[in-house]
């Protein structure tokens, strides 16, 4: 009589514990091992294909991965996990909850205490749920799927398969401790809530100051040091969302980054609240050229303004002003072929950037401060303020008319 064993998956791991109810097993999982270990594909776009009870579990425990986040993660894998990547990359550990107890075999208790082999029961009664890391896993599975798709030429598929096979997810498997009851779905749900909602996010301006990989942040930092105008007026303030009254710098890093993104990609980039686009048309070898052109543009603009360039009461040093300057640069260099950007920079420098100037009538309004003083501020905030400043500049320089003619001709 044949003795047919239940299907299991064997995983080497390092055993630990959290309190009296949970044991943990830390391991590395290749992308190809995720779906077999879980017994299902966890990607949110495929939840409707899961059995009803499992679909409900995921909808309760997880958040669907937004397309823009998925795109960013896939691009991160493709650029940062390459052998020739300019900057190394890594992911935090993903988390998998297992309802039932795991069979554990010690590898060598004396020489390697805690090192074990897990025999994970793959039966459907033993739910294995991805409780943290859905976006990262979805990106890996999407790329694995793409590596076998005939949408790509064979050599690109081969390169992508090599990339996917060359990295693993660090994973922590959570299971009930020996002698305790199985984990309930509610308990797994609580772990998901703890992992995702009890963590205080790093403020965006701090995250920007720490990032060394994003190509736009690289350009921003080097531009601040290269531009004579910026360096001579106090430089760029790092780790600040905006300039305070006593700031020595002329621009906050977060604001100059928006200038750079607008200059490189145009208005579309400025509409996004994300400072980490995850994808760029720029290549690393073009950075030097971009920085040189941006610095020349800003320096020509500042030379024309003279001492007024460093006056923080002038509108060009507002967030909307910086962003608008970047978009005008993009208009001239990417949309209006044949236009001299230095000529446009000097024309911008000759404009009256005083908030009280006639040019900004209707854009600026008087605001009464708490101490009784009055201050001229842009009527609108955020993207609306930037759009208004762009509209005024395009109109005064005749750029809007030329763009309309190009659109009509097309």
pLDDT for res 224: 94
Distance CA 359, CA 62 (A): 51
pLDDT for res 198: 65
Q: Quick: pLDDT tens for 79-89.
A: 889 888 777 88
The SS3 call for residue 129 is strand
Contact (Cβ atoms closer than 8 angstroms) between residue 14 and residue 171: no
Query: Average pLDDT in the 322-343 region?
Result: 91
Residue 376 has pLDDT above 90, yes or no: no
pLDDT for res 278: 47
pLDDT for res 203: 65
pTM, 2 dp: 0.63
Query: Average pLDDT in the 193-214 region?
Result: 65
Terminal CA-CA length for the chain = 78
Q: Quick: pLDDT tens for 103-141.
A: 898 988 888 888 999 888 888 778 888 989 999 999 999
Q: Quick: pLDDT tens for 215-253.
A: 888 899 999 999 999 999 999 988 777 787 778 899 999
Query: Which residues 6+ apart lie within 8 Å of 336 measured at CB?
Result: 399, 402, 403, 406
Contact (Cβ atoms closer than 8 angstroms) between residue 54 and residue 127: yes
CA nearest to 364, candidates 378, 384, 375: 378
Query: Average pLDDT in the 346-352 region?
Result: 95
pLDDT for res 205: 59
Lowest-pLDDT choice from 159-168, 368-377, 380-389: 368-377
Phi, psi of 329 (to 5 degrees): -60, -45
- HSE (CB half, 13 Å, CA atoms) of 207? 9
Q: Are strands 236-237 and 251-252 parallel, antiparallel or unpaired?
A: parallel
Q: What is the 3 state secondary structure string of 239-284?
A: CCCCCCCCCCCCEEHHHHHHHHHHHHHCHHHHHCCCCCCCCCCCCH
- Which pLDDT band holds residue 206 (cuts at 50, 70, 90)? low
The SS3 call for residue 179 is coil
Distance CA 205, CA 319 (A): 14
pLDDT for res 262: 92
pLDDT for res 148: 92
pLDDT for res 285: 59
To the nearest whole number, what is the mean pLDDT of the chain? 86
Distance CA 272, CA 274 (A): 5
Residue 281 has pLDDT above 80, yes or no: no
Residue 200 has pLDDT above 90, yes or no: no
The angle formed by the CA atoms of residues 73, 78 and 81, to the nearest 5 degrees, is 100
Query: Average pLDDT in the 293-320 region?
Result: 94
- Which pLDDT band holds residue 381 (cuts at 50, 70, 90)? confident
Distance CA 201, CA 163 (A): 30
Interaxial angle between packed helices 215-226 and 253-265, expressed in degrees from 0 to 180 and rounded to the nearest 10: 110
Q: Which of 28-32, 274-278, 337-341, 398-402 has the highest mean pLDDT?
A: 28-32
Q: Which tokens hold the place of 215?
A: 């190509």
Q: Would you list the DSSP string of 280-344?
A: -S--GGGHHHHHHHHHHHHHHHHHHHGGGGG-TTSGGGSHHHHHHHHHHHHIIIIISTT--HHHH
Query: Average pLDDT in the 90-109 region?
Result: 91
Contact (Cβ atoms closer than 8 angstroms) between residue 304 and residue 345: yes
- Which pLDDT band holds residue 349 (cuts at 50, 70, 90)? very high
Residue 211 has pLDDT above 90, yes or no: no
């Amino acid at each position: 009589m044949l003795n047919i064993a239940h299907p299991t998956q064997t995983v080497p791991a390092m055993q630990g514990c959290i309190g009296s109810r949970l044991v943990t097993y830390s391991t590395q999982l290749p992308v190809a091992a995720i779906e077999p270990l879980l017994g299902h594909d966890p990607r949110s776009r495929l939840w409707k294909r899961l059995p009803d009870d499992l679909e409900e579990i995921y909808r309760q425990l997880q958040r669907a991965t937004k397309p823009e986040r998925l795109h960013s993660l896939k691009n991160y894998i493709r650029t940062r996990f390459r052998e020739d990547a300019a900057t190394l990359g890594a992911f935090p550990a993903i988390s998998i909850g297992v309802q039932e107890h795991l069979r554990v075999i010690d590898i060598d208790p004396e020489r390697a205490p805690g090192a074990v082999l897990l025999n994970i029961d793959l039966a459907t009664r033993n739910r294995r749920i991805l409780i943290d890391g859905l976006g990262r896993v979805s990106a890996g599975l999407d790329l694995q799927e793409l590596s076998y798709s005939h949408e790509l030429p064979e050599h690109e598929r081969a390169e992508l398969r090599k990339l996917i096979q060359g990295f693993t997810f660090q994973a922590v498997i959570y299971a009930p401790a020996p002698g305790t009851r199985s984990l309930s779905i509610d308990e797994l749900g609580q772990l998901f809530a703890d992992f995702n909602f009890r963590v205080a996010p790093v403020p965006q301006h701090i995250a920007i100051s720490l990032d060394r990989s994003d190509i736009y942040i690289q350009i921003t930092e080097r531009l601040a040091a290269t531009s004579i105008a910026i360096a001579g007026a106090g430089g760029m303030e790092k780790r600040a969302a905006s300039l305070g009254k006593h700031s020595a710098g002329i621009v906050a890093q977060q604001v100059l980054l928006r200038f750079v993104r607008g200059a490189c990609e145009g208005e579309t980039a400025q509409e996004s609240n994300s400072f980490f686009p995850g994808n760029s048309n720029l290549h690393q070898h073009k950075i030097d050229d971009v920085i040189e052109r941006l610095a020349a543009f800003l320096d020509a603009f500042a030379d024309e303004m003279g001492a007024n360039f460093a006056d923080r009461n002038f509108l060009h040093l507002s967030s909307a002003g910086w962003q608008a300057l970047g978009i005008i640069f993009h208009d001239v260099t990417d949309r209006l072929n044949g236009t001299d950007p230095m000529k446009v920079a000097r024309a911008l420098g000759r404009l009256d950037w005083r908030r009280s100037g006639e040019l900004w009538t209707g854009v600026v309004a008087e605001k009464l401060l708490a101490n009784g003083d009055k201050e001229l501020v842009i009527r609108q905030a955020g993207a609306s303020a930037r759009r208004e400043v762009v509209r005024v500049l395009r109109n005064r320089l005749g750029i809007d008319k030329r763009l309309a003619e190009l659109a009509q001709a097309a």
